[in-house]
């Protein structure tokens, strides 16, 4: 079966087409992505502007057309933090579903964490033991931990790299004051979830998913002769310092860092450092699968019943 996973995120609208069947792993065959940065259209009253809505609808129309051209049999559209938290998000989704004849669903932060954890568990397998999963998106941070396919604890915080960049970081390079304010905010937010996670620190494997974390792992490999397949705590501390001292143009020239990623990679690095330090994680292993694969796996499990 050919499925199209349409991910309406805070930074991008991403269509991933996969071929799969019951008992098979999702095999990606086609990708279509547009950078939208929906959070930049969030107004002071916490609503997405008319311009942002129009751009979102136009982007979704193009993505749906690409899905049709790719022969998608079933489209699985979902939205994350940007639409979830906007005061007019529910109305936007209702209008999009009617106008585009789709069934766009909003995932809760906990749903995001659970589905990404499922993808990580299936990738690493049962022999990997107790997993702790960390995912940093554009709008939110998800952490989940457990020994089964459903995590024992799953939490979400508004600590996405795009959101934090927009709300805190100014200057080029970013000013020391704005970086301090960013770090203080991250620490204060993490304090709220530490009690639910502190009992789960004794994990067999700590896993990182998402483009932000994969980019940080690659930088660690390039700068400190690592494998590029994990993030080490002693590396991320130095990565934070190096990235925050760079200008935008200097970050854009880094391998694997797009213009959009160059804006928010500093915030993503500081979130990673804070999570690893507070949970006493020496290393995060990169998992190639994340939320979109989790959506496919969950849907296939559902169809099997």
| pTM for the model | 0.95
Residue 113: per-residue pLDDT: 97
Burial class for 173, CB neighbours closer than 10 Å (0-12, 13-18, 19+):
middle
Q: Which two tokens stand for residue 7?
A: 């991910």
Asked whether 196 and 183 are in contact (CB, 8 A), the reply is no
Is the omega angle on the peptide bond into residue 305 within 30 degrees of 0, that is, cis?
no
Residue 22: per-residue pLDDT: 82
Alpha-carbon span 269 to 53, nearest angstrom: 30
pLDDT < 70 positions in the chain: 198-201, 304-305
Local structure of 212: helix, strand or coil: helix
Q: Please calculate the CA angle 248-249-251 and round it to the nearest 5 degrees.
A: 65
Show the domains of the chain with their CATH numbers: 2-106 (3.30.420.40), 125-286 (3.30.420.150)
């Amino acid at each position: 079966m050919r499925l199209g996973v349409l991910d309406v995120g805070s930074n991008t609208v991403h269509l991933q087409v996969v071929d799969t069947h019951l008992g098979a792993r999702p095999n990606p065959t086609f990708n279509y992505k547009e950078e939208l940065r929906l959070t930049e259209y969030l107004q002071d009253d916490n609503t997405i502007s008319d311009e942002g809505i129009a751009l979102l609808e136009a982007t979704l129309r193009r993505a749906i057309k690409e899905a049709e051209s790719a022969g998608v049999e079933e489209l699985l559209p979902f939205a994350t933090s940007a639409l979830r938290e906007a005061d007019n998000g529910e109305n936007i989704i209702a209008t999009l579903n009617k106008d585009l004849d789709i069934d766009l669903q909003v995932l809760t932060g906990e749903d995001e964490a659970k589905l990404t954890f499922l993808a990580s568990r299936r990738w690493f397998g049962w022999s990997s033991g107790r997993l702790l999963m960390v995912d940093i998106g554009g709008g939110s941070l998800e952490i989940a931990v457990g020994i089964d396919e459903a995590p024992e604890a799953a939490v979400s915080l508004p600590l996405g790299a795009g959101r934090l960049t927009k709300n805190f970081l100014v200057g080029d390079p970013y000013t020391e004051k704005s970086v301090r304010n960013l770090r203080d905010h991250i620490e204060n937010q993490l304090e709220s979830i530490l009690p639910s996670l502190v009992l789960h620190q004794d994990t067999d494997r700590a896993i990182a998913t998402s483009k932000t974390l994969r980019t940080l792992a690659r930088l660690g490999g390039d700068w400190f002769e690592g494998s590029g397949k994990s993030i080490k705590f002693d590396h991320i501390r130095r990565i934070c310092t190096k990235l925050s001292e760079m200008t935008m143009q200097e970050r854009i020239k880094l391998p694997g860092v797009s213009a959009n990623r160059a804006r928010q990679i500093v915030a993503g690095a500081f979130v990673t450092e804070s999570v690893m330090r507070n949970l006493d994680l020496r290393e995060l292993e990169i998992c190639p699968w994340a939320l979109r694969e989790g959506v496919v796996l969950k849907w296939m499990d559902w169809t099997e019943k």
